[in-house]
Amino acid sequence: MNSIDIINKTKRRQPLSADEITWLVNEYTAGNVPDYQMSVWLMAVCLNGLTDQETVSLTAAMRDTGDILDLSGIGGITADKHSTGGVGDKTSLIIGPAAAACGLNVPKMSGRGLGHTGGTIDKLESISGYRTELPFEEFEAVVKQTGFSIISQSGNLCPADKKIYALRNATGTVDSIPLICASIMSKKLALNADCILLDVKYGSGAFMKTREEARKLADLMEKVGTAAGKKCRALVTDMNTPLGKNVGNALEVKEAVEILRNKTKGKLYDLCIELTANMLELAGKGTLQECAELAEDAIASGKALEVFRRTIELHGGDPRIADDVSLLPQAKYSYEIKAAADIRITAVNSEEIGMTSLLLGAGRTEKDGEIDMSAGIVMNCECGEHLAAGDTIMTLYSSAVSDFSSAALRALNAVSFTEIS
């Protein structure tokens, strides 16, 4: 086998065999296929696509380049959840504890912020002391005790994805449905939970800009998960506007705690119930309606909050944040953007809100840059909401930036509204 024949086949839309795909992935990961050959193959995939069977083979080949976790020691049913990423998406911090409180085991590995989207690991690191890197035995022990743990991706899980993702980032080959599917699903299959629930986002703040594209990705991910013997379901959900009110690491943990404390309802709460219910149903805990009731009860009873508190404690974090969110990092500076007239909000651009939050310090502008855990935005501007002149549209927070003028302009540009006369 050789790379040129493989590149030519994909260029001519001739399907590759599983052996050819495995050869390419293994040889690239081992450093025997150069970046320039892998880059043109990736571009050929972007332009011509892959068959579903080729995507199944690519995902399996990538999974098999590293460790595949053995979760059998945890016992019970294990369930994993993945969101394709967005702005203000703190659902893992709510769904994991809620599902665990209903009897599932949720061992989860998450990533850091990417571009304008936040990452669950960064959010958890805003909790003083929380260790996101645990050896497998400790991760397993936390899940056995509380039913829930989130750690960062372990060193030897899908090394092929690490290398290919970095190359895609540098060659304009990220936005391909089969490549996104293989990248995400290879990591999910390496984690190896019994059930996989996928939340595929579409809209201004997501990788997939339209509902149709997101549905295509969701269908393909379900196919790949099922072909690998998993119970797998993919929902398609809206990321045209940020999820919830808070964007930024500590601010998002605060909002998650408020939901777990049963203090806040609304779209974020509803989505968390829907996702938890689907996870429970996938795991055989009842009908979707029964599972939604179980999820609501897990939050209303305080059981989900207790799982979160105990998990934080076992990770070395300060569990008191579950009762007192003022113990989370607080910004030194803040700036309120107020309505100049009576207005009705018509749209909020997630990507622009995510970028503003990043520029306030909540995300990285360089690969290993420092994050200001206190930075971000609290929005008071849901679509359809009426605000009177002088009302706060949103508040910007930062400990790194005290001059908010450019951030405020960008944030305000992200909000569309009509004046009410």
Judged by CB, which is closer to ligand URA: 84, or 105? 84
User: 146 is written with which tokens?
Assistant: 């509380």
- Cβ-contact 253, 123 below 8 angstroms: yes
Residue for token digits 């490549």? 179
Query: In this chain, which of 59, 91, 92, 183 binds ligand URA, going by CB under 6 A?
Result: 183
Please identify which of the residues 80, 89, 161, 194 carries the catalytic annotation: 161
Which residues face 79 on adjacent strands?
195
Pairing of strands 392-398, 333-338: antiparallel
| Shortest Å distance, C-beta 112 to ligand URA | 11
- Cβ-contact 387, 393 below 8 angstroms: yes
3-state secondary structure of 127: coil
Judged by CB, which is closer to ligand URA: 176, or 395? 176
254 catalytic? Reply is no
**Residue 65 binds to ligand URA (criterion: CB under 6 A):** no
| Shortest Å distance, C-beta 59 to ligand URA | 12
- Cβ-contact 331, 408 below 8 angstroms: no
| Shortest Å distance, C-beta 183 to ligand URA | 3
Judged by CB, which is closer to ligand URA: 84, or 395? 84
Name the strand (E) or helix (H) holding 392: strand 392-398
> Considering only CA atoms, which of 94, 78, 133, 88 is closest in space to residue 110?
133
Name the strand (E) or helix (H) holding 278: helix 267-282
Please identify which of the residues 63, 82, 188, 230 carries the catalytic annotation: 82
Q: Please state, in angstroms and rounded to a whole number, the distance separating the CA atoms of residues 328 and 319.
A: 11
194 catalytic? Reply is no
**Residue 196 binds to ligand URA (criterion: CB under 6 A):** no
Judged by CB, which is closer to ligand URA: 184, or 339? 184
**Residue 218 binds to ligand URA (criterion: CB under 6 A):** no
Judged by CB, which is closer to ligand URA: 165, or 202? 165
Residues in binding contact with ligand URA, number by CB under 6 A: 7
The pattern of x and - marking residues 83 through 112 that bind ligand URA according to CB under 6 A reads: -x----------------------------
Q: Which stretch binds ligand URA (CB under 6 A): 28-36, 125-133, 177-185, 407-415?
A: 177-185
270 catalytic? Reply is no
> Considering only CA atoms, which of 157, 91, 147, 154 is closest in space to residue 120?
91
Q: Please state, in angstroms and rounded to a whole number, the distance separating the CA atoms of residues 69 and 198.
A: 19
Residue in the shown chain whose Cβ atom is closest to ligand URA:
183
| Shortest Å distance, C-beta 46 to ligand URA | 12
Judged by CB, which is closer to ligand URA: 50, or 294? 50
Q: Please state, in angstroms and rounded to a whole number, the distance separating the CA atoms of residues 228 and 240.
A: 32
Q: Which stretch binds ligand URA (CB under 6 A): 53-61, 176-184, 216-224, 349-357?
A: 176-184
Judged by CB, which is closer to ligand URA: 42, or 359? 42
Judged by CB, which is closer to ligand URA: 202, or 207? 207
| Shortest Å distance, C-beta 165 to ligand URA | 6
**Residue 180 binds to ligand URA (criterion: CB under 6 A):** yes
Q: Which stretch binds ligand URA (CB under 6 A): 17-25, 100-108, 178-186, 216-224?
A: 178-186
Q: Please state, in angstroms and rounded to a whole number, the distance separating the CA atoms of residues 356 and 165.
A: 25
Q: Which stretch binds ligand URA (CB under 6 A): 179-187, 236-244, 338-346, 378-386?
A: 179-187
Q: In whole angstroms, what separates CA 143 from the centre of its chain?
A: 20
- Cβ-contact 31, 66 below 8 angstroms: no
112 catalytic? Reply is no
What type of residue is 345? I
What type of residue is 136? F
Please identify which of the residues 187, 201, 245, 285 carries the catalytic annotation: 187
Q: Please state, in angstroms and rounded to a whole number, the distance separating the CA atoms of residues 60 and 71.
A: 18
Q: Please state, in angstroms and rounded to a whole number, the distance separating the CA atoms of residues 298 and 317.
A: 22
**Residue 184 binds to ligand URA (criterion: CB under 6 A):** yes
Q: CA angle, corner 242, sides to 109 and 193, nearest 5?
A: 20
| Shortest Å distance, C-beta 215 to ligand URA | 17
E-strand spans in 63-113?
79-83, 106-110
161 catalytic? Reply is yes
> Considering only CA atoms, which of 286, 264, 261 is closest in space to residue 276?
286
Catalytic residues: 82, 161, 168, 183, 187
User: Which residues lie near ligand URA (CB under 6 A)?
Assistant: 84, 165, 174, 180, 183-184, 207
